[in-house]
Amino acid sequence: MGILINKNTRVLVQGITGHEGLFHTQQMLEYGTHIVAGVTPGRGGEWVLDGKIPVFDSVRTAVEMTGAEVSVIFVPARHAADAMFEAADAGISIIVCISEGIPVLDMMRVHEYLLHKGTLLIGPNSPGIINPGEIKVGIIPGDIAIPGNVGVVSRSGTLTYEVLLNLTNAGLGISTCLGIGGDPVVGMNFVEALQFLEDDPHTEQIVLIGEIGGFEEEKAAEFISSSMTKPVIGMVVGQSAPPGKRMGHAGAIIENNIGNATDKIAALEKAGVKIASNPEEISRNLQR
């Protein structure tokens, strides 16, 4: 068991007929995710994956016909904002947006709109969410995590996979792993994710993976200091990043010496977070 989703959650895939959407739908199905529908405008009435999943022209129709609650988005960046608007208007409660490269202005509009609709957004540029042994929504490999009591929340994609694999190799299981996305404007932030994990009875300790740019880690540190009772292990990547240079596909950047790793680490340590310098050290610092 973990947060936000469970084995009974009804999932639809926006962009299901594209290469990435179809591939990862198959992976999610094989993991046990209850995928009830796909959406591709103009392809309604078709079926994919040997007739397992019906395709609809719109999210609203898919929701009305299947009762889908969660949408995972694999559409190109230029259409991703419209896909999120459509999902929210159709009554989807949680959107997981895998798409990357969405313009910041588009995301500012989406962010404001979803706040008024009460729709929870994970991403964009997110690897998704996984409750090991139960369900995964997104692209996190299902074979690198085992069930357990460690909650993981991360801004980094690929590093998340490395941390999960190291925890598995150390015999440490996961309650939920959630990638909030590394873009400048995202939906769920660290504080919101930490609150969910704090309230989750199946999570006993937490790993937070941050990176340079922005103030999310500093806000998380304030929340941890004031509101959390569970132990948190942290790791902040990008300590050697030069100021003003964009790093990685997420576009993490330090400007005017703001958002650097040193300040983030200092804030987290002040809040009582144990800081690890590599994934192996995270495993060693967690309680057995």
Secondary structure letter of residue 144 according to DSSP: G
Shortest CA distance to 20 belongs to which of 81, 73, 70, 68?
Answer: 73
Distances (CA, A) of 58 to 41, 65, 248, 251, 281: 6, 11, 34, 32, 46
Q: Which among 19, 34, 79, 249 is annotated as catalytic? A: 249
Q: How many helices (DSSP H) and strands (DSSP E) are in the chain?
A: 9, 14
Structure tokens at 64: 């009305």
Active site residue 111: no
Strand, helix or coil for residue 47: strand
| Exposure letters 37-53 (e unless 16+ CB within 10 A, then b) | bbbbbeeeeeebeeeeb
Q: Which residues are known catalytic residues? A: 249
